[in-house]
Copies of this chain bind each other. A is one copy, B any other.
Amino acid sequence: MLNYTTQSRWPNGFGSQQSPIDLKNVGAVHAGTALDFEMRNAYGLTSEIDDQTTIRDLGDGAATIFGRQFAFVQVHFHAPAEHLLAGQAKPFEIHLVHQNSIGQLVVVALLVDVGETDATLQQIIDQFEPGQTQPVHIQLGKWVAEQPIGFHYLGSLTTPPLTEGVEWLVITNPTVTISSRQLAWFKAHFQPNNRQVQPLNNRRVEIYTKQE
């Protein structure tokens, strides 16, 4: 029986809902044809930071995500990708971090293939100054399709403090690609910065895609 007089020693379940995870179609619950994510204006980047393990750009923007209003806060990059698709890692993953008025976090993750050079990524690369934080004026390209498909689940930040209660939309059909030259630049400047996949435990993962 729960003892309220010894509550400082209550067990806790922190750490059971961590990210990233290995995303699989099998076991995921089909919940719709497209993820409910809409950028309500163009996202602007205003400050670029050398985070030592990645580039992080702070910015502003507004989105509607599953019926709620969120502010875009920052974007950063992982190579290789952190989320796996049936055990396989894409070469690159972009994290668009959003927050609402009480601090709830939604990360929109884009799993990026090698392909055409992306102009926004090139601006971010060109303006990077090692060890510096500096003002930038970059407008994010249209990185997301009208009908984004992918996964939706409850997880955590993938870097310390590893905060849980973070909502993830992992988009598998972004319109952004990264050129092999851009990817080589990231690999030359940063060590691999993907956290290992974490146990799913008893979480429910939703998949949003067109019915076959």
Interface positions of A (Cβ within 8 A of B)? 1-2, 4, 7, 10-17, 29, 31, 52-53, 66-69, 101-104, 152-154, 159-167, 191-196, 203-206
Contact = CB atoms under 8 A, between A and B. Distances in A.
Contacts of A204: 101-103
22 contacts: A1-B53, A2-B159, A4-B192, A4-B195, A10-B160, A12-B14, A12-B15, A13-B162, A14-B161, A14-B163, A14-B164, A17-B163, A67-B67, A67-B69, A68-B68, A102-B167, A104-B165, A104-B167, A164-B164, A164-B165, A165-B165, A165-B166
CB-CB nearest 10 A-B residue pairs: A165-B165, A13-B161, A14-B14, A67-B67, A12-B162, A1-B52, A10-B160, A102-B154, A2-B53, A67-B68
Copies in the complex: 2
Contacts of A162: 10, 12-14
Main secondary structure on A side of the interface with B:
loop
Contacts of A15: 12, 14
Given A2-B193, A16-B161, A104-B167, 8 more contacts: A2-B52, A2-B159, A4-B194, A4-B195, A10-B160, A14-B15, A14-B164, A102-B204
